[in-house]
A and B are shown apart, each in its own frame.
Chain A
């Protein structure tokens, strides 16, 4: 008499939305520093990347003692990849290592934003808004940079013509939101809840709610719910496959002659308080795969591309009690692309001795990320230093653009 309740597979339900393009509205333009049709991509790593694991300073005599069980080594199984003799690279990033050797990738180590507290929310506000203090979230520095850029020679007047920004993902990252209109693109898959969410809920439920903990545990045990290493939840911004997918989609749009020129993405899951080794191996592999996807899909435009990868802050220099690290200060940023003058680790290395650590716990920050972003803006996009200090990174007059990052 009655219909059975249908039970579609999750994949069928979650996998079928439309890919979202809108070519007809695309403007014709070119960003033309030195006549170059440049591409600039910013990737935000939400959760605070541990720079000492991504780019371990194997040459620092204090590194291993601080890191103990999670220290990387130059030799043996799963050895770190060599970079410059002092710094090495996490073994999950062979593409980056290749690009580094080819002079198309560099590391900016011991770097940070202007933010010096340890809240993710506030740290991401500062990283993305470009303001020195948290709480200003109306617009991001990348968007304000777009407004201030000189028009390329092909740019015709009219507001719609100025759509050169691309926001990737279900939600536009703050860094590219603001007054300048921006194209949105999200992949066809509804992002499933990140693996990290299940782990955090497991932690909460096990303290507060045995009944829900039991159900969640069972879901994890039977593979219905993905947590960290089993790779069951594909497609989201906290999943390696998802990262590659988002990167490839963004690159395809950026590669179009009439497509956007500046894009922002956000990858999630970097808050590695526990079991950092396995988590970061997976996430860094995703990031590395995203670099490869950009290189491949951008094709001839790769030579005019710079990709800046930044996170809200770093992590403690010492390993904590759960084989992870807690919120810190200085960390690494990456700069990748055919337009990048790479093959080097840019660092005013502060050292890892007790007295050299910030508050006796964090890698100190000696390079201001704003200098890096400003340097790219000036040399790749022809932005004016005045506009950058006044509108893009207000209050950064004393932070000079780092020149020479772009070929």
Chain B
């Protein structure tokens, strides 16, 4: 069957730029796929995560401080009573605990809509729960409770809302560009979701400079890259406390967030920027500088004096000195080239066409870093629509595509467990450079093995709801090869047919 170009582009819009096709999406946008994408840009379609635990950063940190105080009280009371106090878990215990959590997460694996496992099989009233109903539920610590609520708001919420989900994909892209890690500690874990809600999502189709400023002043980033520990050596607080610079955040701003590693900066520039942003910190729990848990410019820790960065002099101006430096970095040609390369590599191919990268960079420069304009240029570029599926979905994209394709809105734990075993623990990359965006990182033997197990679980749950041949036509339709149709159709059971569908090149790639 010959596919019309629009049918193919509809499928590409959903998989390459979107979150994967749901039932009906292909048909809905097939008359004008590019138009549908541009409509999401024009409408600024970036869904808002919802949930009662999803509070602003300062409130979450305040609650965290209260939680930690209460924990401390309990420990001290027990110590006073002669009971050995629970220690902060050693790293070994943390590992064991993490493992247990992941095991629980993956094995509960009720990843389909309808939550069938354990209920009476079939259509009758639920009979007997599979798990003992009387088991006491372990208390989930406050930071993890918030983390799970944030995850649920994505996997049962924001990913299901949009028709295509270009904005949600971009939110994931930018959150990975400005990576933080929940593994840093409870103070980052509890606001990892808030970071994305507050610093990333509002600017996905806005100006890069605004996103950059929101990110670098967000407590999550300041904690993650230690800027609250950085003191101007000649500042009053630095002198008092005999403390000095911590270059961590400044280096990553230049290397990862803006110019890129080959962006032409020197070690002097790193040190200068570190000085410039001294005093950018988070109000502590006592609230001496303002509302606990909020960003503050702590003038007493700020290195006094003018600073030279990339050949420009930034006059001493307190917080404004750093803001001016960031705004300059945001409109630097090296930043434009760096971001253009990353965007094209993410959406199009590991080695994107130079002409495309060039066009995106030029659009970035000409528009003053308008991300809606850059996104539009990406969608309008002919290079973006090659029918060849050059990229392999990351585990996160793969998981989301399964959830969208099946309509499943599970509890977050099984999804997080799956991401963990597939090598992309949620909001927890191994470094500030985020998760890899290259095919080689994900098309690994071990990774495929895990994907097969995840696909198998999802397919087992989904077998009651979907007929595999019909399922692939409505989700992958115009992209399908005869070989995949045949492999799915010849499967020995519906579950196996669905597993093959999830593992097919057309579903694994985009």
Binding site for B on A (CB under 8 A): 1-6, 8, 10, 12-18, 20-22, 25-26, 46-48, 120-121, 124, 138-140, 143, 159-160, 163, 165, 167, 170-172, 176-186, 188, 190-194, 196-198, 200-201, 203-205, 207-209, 211-212, 215-216, 218-219, 222, 224-225, 268-271
Contact = CB atoms under 8 A, between A and B. Distances in A.
B183 A3 contact: yes
B102 A179 contact: no
Contacts of A208: 481, 483-484, 505
B277 interface: no
Given A176-B121, A182-B120, A224-B449, A6 B127 contact: no
Given A10-B421, A17-B103, A17-B108, 7 more contacts: A25-B127, A47-B493, A171-B116, A183-B128, A184-B128, A208-B505, A216-B445
B226 A1 contact: yes
Residue of A120, A139, A159 contacting most chain B CB atoms (<10 Å): A120
Given A204-B483, A222-B445, A171 B125 contact: no
Contacts of A270: 492
Contacts of B481: 207-208
Nearest to A140: B122
B492 A163 contact: no
A12 to B, nearest CB: 6
A192 B483 CA distance: 25
B152 interface: no
B121 A204 contact: no
Interface stretch (B154-162, B190-198, B463-471): B463-471
B491 A120 contact: yes
A347 B452 CA distance: 41
A139 B121 CA distance: 10
A281 B504 CA distance: 29
Interface stretch (B66-74, B92-100, B327-335): B92-100
B456 A197 contact: yes
9 contacts: A3-B181, A3-B183, A13-B421, A124-B494, A197-B452, A207-B481, A212-B448, A219-B449, A224-B449
Contact of A193 (B95, B452, B461, B497): B452
Nearest to A211: B443
B500 interface: yes
B252 to A, nearest CB: 11
B460 interface: yes
Contacts of A194: 456, 496
A334 B493 CA distance: 21
A151 to B, nearest CB: 17
A204 B500 contact: yes
B240 interface: no
Contact of B446 (A5, A120, A172, A219): A219
A143 B106 contact: no
B122 A124 contact: no
Given A13-B421, A204-B487, A219-B445, A2 B430 contact: yes
Interface in B88-124: 95, 98-100, 102-104, 106-109, 116-124
A120 B493 contact: yes
Given A8-B102, A124-B493, A197-B496, A163 B127 contact: yes
A200 B183 CA distance: 38
B439 interface: yes
Nearest to A48: B492
Contact of A20 (B109, B118, B430, B508): B118
Contacts of B119: 184
A208 B505 CA distance: 7
Top 9 A-B pairs, shortest CB-CB distance = A17-B107, A172-B121, A219-B445, A177-B122, A181-B127, A20-B130, A47-B492, A271-B492, A16-B103
B120 A181 contact: yes
B496 A196 contact: yes
Contacts of A17: 103-104, 107-108
Contacts of A12: 99, 103
B445 A177 contact: no
Contacts of A22: 128-133
Contacts of B499: 193, 197
B207 to A, nearest CB: 30
B6 to A, nearest CB: 24
A13 B417 CA distance: 9
Contacts of A21: 130, 132
B88 to A, nearest CB: 14
Nearest to B127: A181
A190 B505 contact: no
B444 interface: yes
Nearest to B119: A184
B248 interface: yes
B445 A197 contact: no
Contacts of A140: 122
A201 B99 contact: no
Contacts of A212: 392, 443, 448, 505, 508
B491 A201 contact: no
Contacts of A171: 116-117, 460-461, 463-464, 495
A184 B118 contact: yes
A211 B443 CA distance: 8
Residue of B107, B133, B181, B467 contacting most chain A CB atoms (<10 Å): B107
B447 to A, nearest CB: 8
Nearest to B445: A219
Given A2-B431, A197-B456, A219-B449, A15 B127 contact: no
Contacts of A163: 120, 127-128
Contacts of B241: none
A6 B98 contact: yes
Given A47-B493, A124-B493, A172-B121, A190 B106 contact: yes
Contacts of B106: 13-14, 190
B121 A167 contact: yes
Contacts of A176: 121-122
Contact of B430 (A5, A181, A198, A225): A5
Interface string B29-41: 0000000000000
A230 B102 CA distance: 27
A183 B128 CA distance: 6
B183 A2 contact: yes
B455 interface: yes
B52 to A, nearest CB: 29
A47 B492 CA distance: 4
A225 B452 contact: yes
Contact of B443 (A159, A172, A215): A215
B122 to A, nearest CB: 3
Contacts of B18: none
A200 B122 contact: no
A196 B430 contact: no
A184 B120 CA distance: 7
Interface in B473-510: 481, 483-484, 487, 490-497, 499-500, 503-505, 508-509
Residue of B183, B493, B496 contacting most chain A CB atoms (<10 Å): B493
A182 B392 CA distance: 41
Given A16-B100, A184-B128, A196-B496, A224 B445 contact: yes
A347 to B, nearest CB: 25
A60 to B, nearest CB: 27
Contacts of A165: 121
A184 B183 contact: no
